[in-house]
Amino acid sequence: MNRFAIKAGLGACVLGASVLIPAQVSAEPAATATGTELSGMTVFLDPGHQGSSEGHDLAQQVNDGRGNTKDCQTSGMTSLGGVPEHTINWNVSQLVKSSLESLGAKVVLSRQDDTGWGGCVDERARAASESNADVAVSIHADSTAQGEDASKHGFHMIIPSLPIPDEKADAAQSGGGLEASTMMRDAYKSDGFVPANYAGVNDGLQTRADVAGPALTQIPLVFVEMGNGSNKEDSAQLESTDGQLKHAITITTGVVTYLLTGSEAAPAEELAAAPAATTAPEASEDSASSTTTTTPKATTPKAAPKSTAPDSAQFSELMEMLAPLLEVEGLDGLEDLVNDKNLGLVSDLASTLMAVITGAGGN
């Protein structure tokens, strides 16, 4: 099975485009997805920022995880086309959530809507830690200017300067967090995204000591900056239905790759037996905090992951295939895509993803 089939499977899974069949993207047979491949696993998704800060003080000082304090929250960037970052983050997170849940994962959100308050950065870190998730993903978009900035572009993952004062956070981010961030970076590069060319980003990774989330989170965390909203090309992609879908597919690929092949992943036989699971200098960070503390899960090493992503030309071909489905289903944009009906459907094409990542298919 070729690598393009994987992305077609993810794309269809995210969209809920059940009218497609594997034969349309690959002549080779695919294993049947059971929807339980990620059963027993939990992912904490943090759509950065919030719809409204009314009644809250963004400048309230909270713990930064390194013995100092910082602002409770930032307002987030606004793209060149006028779309607020919190909405871009929310749309992408909903598509990622749907895809992961269709494979059996439990997904916990830091905020429950895109209209109200989403919590201070320390609250979101605490909620992530108390979720006992296998991995947390904080989804953001960056900016480098109030207006257009043509010279700076690209994605990056923010990783914390080590060591982190809190021993549990240090262990989580120096181990699984760094591994998951690297896998996410690789997924982005494989999908044709270009690493950021500013702010000291090194091959898609930026090390920082001033971002509270990673320093306070006691489970592996990936902090994604999808692109620069001040750059015309990056902004257009962040705003568009196709662009948000592409980011969602890439983020889902990074998460699934880490969960199934990372050093903290459960053995394949354990997965098979698992029951079904019912920005600028100041990075954007963010939700509802949980109150239940649980014991970390045991982990077992697995083999290194295979590269699974297609090139840009292949993704363009996928998007051309999926475009007619939007018309057939009467979907005008993400406001129509992100609804209970469409997100609840799971395409048979999702099996192509699992067949390759779990080693059931060839390359």
Tens-digit pLDDT profile for residues 22-34: 223 333 444 455 6
Q: Per the structure block, which two tokens stand in for 325?
A: 């489905």
Question: How far does Cα 246 stand from its chain's mean position?
Answer: 11
Question: Which residue's structure tokens are 């992503």?
Answer: 309
| CA–CA separation, 88 and 85 (whole Å) | 5
Q: Per the structure block, which two tokens stand in for 330?
A: 């009467």
Residue 264: the pLDDT is 74
Q: Per the structure block, which two tokens stand in for 114?
A: 């895109």
Residues 6+ apart with CB under 8 A from 10: 99, 249, 252, 253, 350, 353
Q: Are 351 and 9 in contact (CB under 8 A)?
A: yes
The SS3 call for residue 139 is: strand
Residue 263: the pLDDT is 86
Residue 17: the pLDDT is 30
Query: What is the DSSP code (8-state) at residue 198?
Result: S
Q: Give 10-residue mean pLDDT values along the chain (363 residues).
A: 45 43 35 75 97 93 97 95 97 95 95 95 98 98 96 98 98 98 97 97 98 97 98 98 94 95 65 38 38 36 40 50 44 43 38 46 40
Q: Per the structure block, which two tokens stand in for 333?
A: 């944009």
Residue 200: the pLDDT is 97
Per-residue pLDDT tens over the stretch 222-232? 999 999 999 99
| CA–CA separation, 243 and 114 (whole Å) | 19
Residues 6+ apart with CB under 8 A from 336: 329, 330, 342
| CA–CA separation, 159 and 213 (whole Å) | 10
Q: Are 363 and 306 in contact (CB under 8 A)?
A: yes
Q: 85, 123, 225, 264: which one is catalytic? A: 225
Calculate ∠ Cα 153-257-344, nearest 5°. Answer: 90
Residue 11: the pLDDT is 57
Per-residue pLDDT tens over the stretch 245-262? 999 999 999 999 999 999
Q: Per the structure block, which two tokens stand in for 222?
A: 């990936």
Question: Which residue's structure tokens are 């987030």?
Answer: 76
Residue 215 host element (H or E) = helix 212-216
AA letter at 22: P
In order, the DSSP letters of 299-321 are ----PPPPP----HHHHHHHHHH
Residue 142 host element (H or E) = strand 135-142
Q: Is 225 a catalytic residue?
A: yes
Question: Which residue's structure tokens are 């790759």?
Answer: 257
Count CB neighbours of 344 within 10 A: 11
Residue 267: the pLDDT is 52
pTM exceeding 0.85: no
- Of the candidates 163, 152, 200, 202, the one whose C-alpha atom is nearest the C-alpha of residue 182 is 202
Integer CA distances (angstroms), 311 to 185, 191, 233, 350, in order: 15, 6, 18, 19
Q: Are 327 and 320 in contact (CB under 8 A)?
A: no
Q: Per the structure block, which two tokens stand in for 285?
A: 């960070």
